[in-house]
Structure 1
Amino acid sequence: MAKFSSSDEKSGVENGGDFKVDVFSSSSELLSKLQEKGLGKPKPYPAMYSSVFGGIVLDPAMMVLPIDDHMVHRGHGVFDTAIILDGYLYELDVHLTRFLNSASKAKIVSPFPKSTLRSILIQLTSASKCRKGTLRYWLSAGPGDFLLSPAGCPTSAFYAVVIEENFSQCKEGVQVVTSKIPMKSPLFATMKNVNYLPNVLAKMEAEEKGAFASIWVDEKGYVAEGPNVNVAFITRENDLILPFFDTILSGCTALRLLQLAPKLVEQGRLKSVRIGNLTMEEAKGAKEMMYVGSTLPILPIIMWDEKPIGDGEVGELTMALSDLLWEDMVAGPETQRFPVPFL
């Protein structure tokens, strides 16, 4: 048993040893406290769905998860995101397909079929009345206990939340650095799971150096991806190249870019569009470089490890690709955009 001296006792008081902990004897008392904390603050999360509750919650104070959910204390969960723009959900089906593929890899069985998940997400977006933002959703092994195995969890859980965000097309260039944080193994990198500590550390690592984010390079020396985005390059010969997806996450926006970019080939602005390996030296020698991700959809990169990419300015072809994706998000085909029936 540890022994404490009088100096330890004094230090404890100074550092909160006399802190009084409130005890809430009823759920109504706790709810009042939670609602009180949110008074006068913006409401960034207008709606949440929880299969544990069995419905949609509009009160931010009640947007909670069980502490014994295995996604909370074991990281046993997967997630995905869809964009809400002008009252439409962009690429919802594509994201749902990847979502369920991730769940399969994580050995999580969805409590609902894909059609029901889609219906829940559309109804949630409608109830939120949010016309611009993101829709983020999770599949968890579910609540049950604090053990390692999910065998004690009666059923998996599905959660979703609408987040109001006023994002717009990115037109300013950013700086990046090469990450020293180890990459995830292919199994975990290709599965969009909630274990994002390497991604968080890679982002913090870049911010500490005054950069926007980082770039991972794999053990073979090939460029991989950013902490939560794909990366693409325009070579000196005007080829658009994205790294292979076999050891990194297959980005839905990156795949859509590969479908749309041939329009620039037809116009004679790009020579080709392909996926392939690029060493860091080859990548740093590119004419243009960009991040590719859902809310960007293209973010120009003009500096890498304090050295300019190309002429150090936002590239013309980068913005042409950004325009293609943004136009697709705003007025693309019905197969890409789900209208939300707002009440």
Structure 2
Amino acid sequence: MDSQSVEAGDYKAHVFSSSAELLEKLHEKWSSVKKKPFPAMYSSVYGGIILDPAMMVLPIDDHMVHRGHGVFDTACLLDGHLYELDVHLDRFLRSAAQAKVSSPFPKSILRSILVQMTAASRCKKGTIRYWLSAGPGDFLLSPTGCPTSAFYAVVIDDDFSQRKEGVKVITSTIPIKPPQFATVKNVNYLPNVLAQMEAEEKGAAASIWVDEEGYVAEGPNVNVAFINHNKDLILPFFDKILSGCTAKRLLQLAPKLVEQGRLKSVKTSNLTVEEAKGSAEMMFVGSTLPILPIIAWDGQPVGDGKVGELTMALSDLLWDDMVAGPETQRFHVPYYEE
């Protein structure tokens, strides 16, 4: 029967009589799934690593769940190596400090947990994502009723690859986050979600935020970069937007193209929308992309409307760094079977 045709008086919510019955119901969802999309999770509430996807849950009274009081970050997993794990962890703890969320563990233990969780998952490609929350306790606004903060993490099995096809973007009409919140990687992503939905409704891959001064800011969960006709690589300043780890790594690697005479310079700067739309090439920069070429903005072609040669050269630089970069960038996970 169509649920919409059921009268309220006719609907009876099931009451689970035991935890065993509830567990059986939770496992129903995963019984027909051949490959687990989330092969491992860590929860400080449980105090360990979870391999059963049916049990990868959070307490509803967690302050992050009902008040959005938490931060998160991520790291790319490629060929059994965690890319820029320490850089992301450092930003994670900076975000936590700004959000006034204390960590139940020092950085060294957080790092060890993430490595052990990844090893237990046996996943070699995807991402790991992790959260610090004010923790469970009650449903009030203040976290004073939360006895201890909580740390959660999950391995996401994802077969991503280098992006070589161009996409279209739009200018978002959703208000941009103020710098205090935009510069902290927190779980309050409603503006990001609405900006992404707006883009998809208009047939675009994503949207671009413009700040109150008319300068280009960022995408809904990625940084944006431009190459002008003078062959300068330009990324917006990070003072009002999230400081992207991959974007900063791009700024470290791109001077190689300057040395080769392919780029003239690499810099961060304010860019007006008019200047940005007049660029020769445009791209998103993010962890699993690592570069996504942009070929049209608000229905107008960027440059010649094709994926740029320099955009792909930058993509190759980042992808090579992810695949075969220095050990300082790539941490080899000691999987248990090894």
Q: TM-score range by the shorter chain?
A: over 0.9
Number of matched residues?
333
- Report the counterpart of residue 256 of structure 1 in structure 2: 249
Q: Take 1:186 and 1:292, find their aligned partners in 2: how far apart are those partners?
A: 20
- Report the counterpart of residue 327 of structure 1 in structure 2: 320
Deviation at 1:36, TM superposition (A): 1.4
Deviation at 1:12, TM superposition (A): 8.7
Superposed, 1:204-283 pairs within 5 Å as 204-283=197-276
Structure 1 residue runs of 5 or longer lacking an equivalent are 1-10
After superposition, give the CA deviation of every residue in 1:94-129 in whole Å (9 maximum; x if it has no partner).
000000000000000100000000000000000000
SS class of match (2:176):
coil
Deviation at 1:16, TM superposition (A): 4.9
Deviation at 1:22, TM superposition (A): 1.4
Deviation at 1:215, TM superposition (A): 0.3
Is residue 167 of structure 1 aligned with residue 142 of structure 2?
no
CA spacing shift, 1:55–1:308, aligned 2, 3 Å:
same
CA spacing shift, 1:210–1:12, aligned 2, 3 Å:
closer
Q: Take 1:15 and 1:22, find their aligned partners in 2: how far apart are those partners?
A: 16
Taking structure 1 as the reference length, the TM-score comes to 0.96
After superposition, give the CA deviation of every residue in 1:49-82 in whole Å (9 maximum; x if it has no partner).
0000000000000000000000000000000000
SS class of match (1:53):
coil
- Report the counterpart of residue 20 of structure 1 in structure 2: 12
Superposed, 1:1-343 pairs within 5 Å as 14-41=6-33, 42-343=35-336
What percent identity do the matched residue pairs reach?
78
After superposition, give the CA deviation of every residue in 1:249-282 in whole Å (9 maximum; x if it has no partner).
0000000000000000000000000000000000
Q: Take 1:164 and 1:127, find their aligned partners in 2: how far apart are those partners?
A: 13
Deviation at 1:20, TM superposition (A): 2.3
Q: Take 2:114 and 2:123, find their aligned partners in 1: how far apart are those partners?
A: 12
Q: Take 1:325 and 1:227, find their aligned partners in 2: how far apart are those partners?
A: 21
After superposition, give the CA deviation of every residue in 1:147-172 in whole Å (9 maximum; x if it has no partner).
00000000000000000000000000
Taking structure 2 as the reference length, the TM-score comes to 0.97
- Which amino acid in structure 1 is aligned with residue 15 of structure 2? V
Deviation at 1:15, TM superposition (A): 4.5
Q: Of the two, which has the highest radius of gyration?
A: 1
SS class of match (2:240):
coil
- Which amino acid in structure 2 is aligned with residue 212 of structure 1? A
Q: Take 1:196 and 1:123, find their aligned partners in 2: how far apart are those partners?
A: 28
Deviation at 1:13, TM superposition (A): 6.5
- Report the counterpart of residue 4 of structure 1 in structure 2: none
Deviation at 1:327, TM superposition (A): 0.2
Q: Take 1:229 and 1:15, find their aligned partners in 2: how far apart are those partners?
A: 45
- Report the counterpart of residue 8 of structure 1 in structure 2: none
Q: Take 1:80 and 1:158, find their aligned partners in 2: how far apart are those partners?
A: 12
Cα RMSD (Å): 1.1
Structure 2 residue runs of 5 or longer lacking an equivalent are none
SS class of match (1:56):
strand
